[in-house]
A and B are shown apart, each in its own frame.
Chain A
Amino acid sequence: MVDVTIIGAGVIGCAVARELTKYRLSVCVVEKETDVCEGTSKANSGIVHAGFDCKPGTLKSKMNVKGCAMVRELSKTLDFAYRNNEALVLCFDPAQLDGLRELYDRGTANGVEGLELLTPDQVRNIEPALNDVAGALLAKTSGIVCPFEMTIAFAENAYDNGADFRFDTTVTGISKSGSFYRIETDKGSFESRFVVNAAGVYADVIHNMVCEDKIKITPRRGEYCLLDTEAGNTVKRTIFQLPTKMGKGVLVTPTVHGNLLVGPSAENIDDKEDTATTASGLASVRDRAGLSVSGIPFGKTITTFSGLRAVGDTDDFIITMSAENFIDAAGIESPGLTSAPAIGEYIAGMIAEKAGAERNDAFNGTRKGVVHFVALSREEQNELIKRDPAYGSIVCRCATVTEGEIRDAISRSLGARTLDGVKRRTGAGMGRCQAGFCSPKTMALIAEKYGIPLESVRKN
């Protein structure tokens, strides 16, 4: 019997778990995949949205604006990559300048600070690579984050504060049994007083196991092109176009790792697992990005990927106690990543109040991430190598990731068990050769740690 079971170890589930460990509650996170951050959280734009385009008064607007400030602070205490690079929303047609004004007003109503309407000249001055615009909205609080690192940081810190994580475990049924829920999984069943549904694109399936009023989550596929770091300086800010009904449109942004990210497309699909890219989707991304910046060097694409946003049917996040002690965090589409810490705090508060839980005095909210060797000074690097020679050996040459970092990523709390797990924790394999060089070496380190044959080490 646990106090709270969270279904889904994406950014929302992990943020909720971390916030819950601030209380004297036992917390269990159930995840069908092998690692945290395996669904929507791993394949998105990695933007910390300022919060100007959510309708005032919605949960989205509240969580977004609050989350934006929280991510910035948490990046320091939880040691994950974040950069306050600002954002621009471009308007190309003088007839649509009202749309920019509307965004500005909406943002102001939402309490977003640092918004400014810019003239074409001002835009050209700060972002010379952009095509000619009629005007733009500047959002100074907008930033970029590594979505993997952030999710992993939440998860590790939750784990270090006592949360239990059960991977490779799929929830198959939930039934109410007196004052608690019985949670059936493919690895056996257990009981829980509270259930938090943070199942991403599967949140409708989980919700509908428990609640009478059914919901539907539509996977909205977004395809992206990731370009080499050589193209990383094309723009400094995150470049949006005026939003449409299908979302914020195709953006062009640097990433915290120095790459250039272009995307996403937006296509509603039925299959909750269909993260395949398509020739037409990628072509549309390239075409539409060309409106903002012509001459993006797509020849420097190092990978393409797609992710599924979990789109609900209410036009807002569904964050509520949908049944007795069953809390939904459903329909968490954009700006879900930004909102995650605020949603975590909100849901944890809801549960703590209902449970009458006391604060956990032993909670330690600080976490140290995997060191990024390449970012250290020469003195720090030599200090580290002296202490542990594994830091003197480069495994991933593209991103300059050392054996020491990979060993740390594998052996730390909730350590990596796959090549993708190592990649998301260290950046090894994320560079231009896309793991061609480092895979066998990383595989050997994983095999050594877990005592398994090399051929059993998986990519994902």
Chain B
Amino acid sequence: MREFDLAVIGGGPAGMAAAVAAKKKGLDNIIIFERDAQLGGILNQCIHNGFGLHTFKEELTGPEYAERYADMVRELGIPYETGTMVLNISDDRTVTIMSRERGVEGISAKSVVLAMGCRERPRGALGIAGYRPQGIYTAGTAQRLINIDGVLPGKECVILGSGDIGLIMARRMTLEGAHVAAVFELMPYSNGLNRNIVQCLDDFGIPLLLSHTIIDIKGKENLEGVVVAEVKDGKPIAGTEEYYPCDTLLLSCGLIPENELSRACGVDINPLTNGAVVDDRLQTSIPGVFACGNVLHVHDLVDYVSAEAAKAGESAAEFVRSGQTSGDGTTINLIPKNGVRYTVPNKFSADFPDNELHIRFRVTGIYKNSAIVLKCGGNEIFRKKTMIMIPSEMQDIAVKKDVLAQAREDVEIMIEGEAQ
């Protein structure tokens, strides 16, 4: 059985950044397993720009961003195997992989970084009534068809859901000659980044209809149209129905971390994120198994993925070096309260090794002129004023070690202010 210090599951932005960071921390015997034919993951089909403003201080396309990391992987001499699917990870970190060349093979790893990314919520999970014709795609599938395969899914398009891929695809479809009639969003606010609403919808005159959803799909063989209604409290309002003829419906209704392997391995999953429960080292409930990127929680910017993944890679290297599964200090839980949907990490060791702890989370509504507050035992230990926070943007606060070192019990994190 082949043996590695670190097996990274997934060669997308998270996996590559984790491997690079582990290598820089001195770990040598690393392997990246990637199911696709090349490194890069979903970035390879994201040919639009806007990547890398934080990491590289320049504006790159998805493939360019991926290439920067792929170059680092190659320059550092980190081995990777593409066309390789991971079938199983056991709790003793035996990883079962499969490829055309090697068949099915078990390998042994001293540490594992989970970096499998996420997938899109399909139509069936949305429960939209109507027919199941040709012409309905998740936005990411349509993105792949256009950008990789060179196939335009249709000419007359509507989009349900205002997640970033949906917004990006509204522009992409338009640029490729299709007509995008509208983007419908169930919620009263968009789930995409503001810059994408401006650059992908406003600039092209594509209306964004908030508090609207599709209630019926017409056309038995081929999509013929959708019935859209205004929504109040999650329910369609009778009398507001409007018919949109179309041959293509793109869905951008949420991303789900792809944790099949993690679950089978026995990793505890946080129902709020559908990602692993992790500590300050991004270690899961199984010692030596770490998680980062969209398999941990869905990010808005790849730059944050890279930063988070680097932490996971460093933690894996440290784990292999010291064999330590946790710090010596007490474990403190981070409890999301008013306005905070979840946090990553879920807990930390009071003597965590860094100078500061990054707490990443999303808010549950739109908050203007509010504050992020941490409390412990009823006492406020941290406060940060914020101009605006919206659910589509991931929040990332760095809290100094000396602040958290005071904590002797669970720390609550909340938003002070009224959601709009």
Residues of A at the B interface (CB closer than 8 Å) are 226, 273, 275-279, 281-282, 301-305, 378, 381-382, 385-386, 389-390, 392-394, 397-398, 400, 432-437, 439-440, 443-444, 454-455, 458-460
Contact = CB atoms under 8 A, between A and B. Distances in A.
B383 interface: no
A440 B218 CA distance: 24
Interface string B122-158: 1111010111111101101100110011111000000
B245 to A, nearest CB: 17
B100 A436 contact: no
Given A304-B124, A392-B98, A397-B85, A278 B104 contact: no
A455 to B, nearest CB: 5
A301 B148 CA distance: 30
A392 B101 contact: yes
B100 A440 contact: no
Contact of A303 (B87, B124, B130): B124
Contacts of B260: 397-398
Nearest to B139: A436
B124 A301 contact: yes
A455 B122 contact: no
B227 to A, nearest CB: 11
Interface of B: 35, 83, 85, 87, 98-104, 119-120, 122-125, 127, 129-135, 137-138, 140-141, 144-145, 148-152, 215-218, 220-221, 260
B87 A434 contact: no
A301 to B, nearest CB: 6
27 contacts: A275-B131, A275-B220, A276-B131, A276-B218, A276-B220, A282-B127, A301-B124, A301-B125, A304-B127, A378-B104, A381-B103, A389-B100, A389-B101, A392-B101, A397-B35, A433-B122, A434-B123, A436-B120, A436-B138, A439-B141, A440-B141, A440-B144, A440-B145, A440-B148, A455-B152, A459-B134, A460-B221
A393 B83 contact: yes
Report, nearest first, the 4 A-B pairs whose CB atoms are least far apart: A303-B124, A434-B122, A392-B100, A389-B100
A281 B104 CA distance: 45
Main secondary structure of the interface of B (DSSP, over half): mixed
A458 B103 contact: no
Contacts of B99: 392-393
Contacts of B127: 282, 301, 304
Contacts, number: 109
A66 B35 CA distance: 47
Contacts of B135: 459
B134 A458 contact: yes
Given A301-B125, A397-B35, A436-B140, 4 more contacts: A303-B123, A385-B104, A392-B104, A455-B152
Contact of A433 (B120, B132, B137): B120
A60 to B, nearest CB: 30
A278 B151 contact: no
A458 B223 CA distance: 12
Contact of B129 (A273, A282, A392): A282
A305 B100 CA distance: 36
A403 B173 CA distance: 30
B125 A436 contact: no
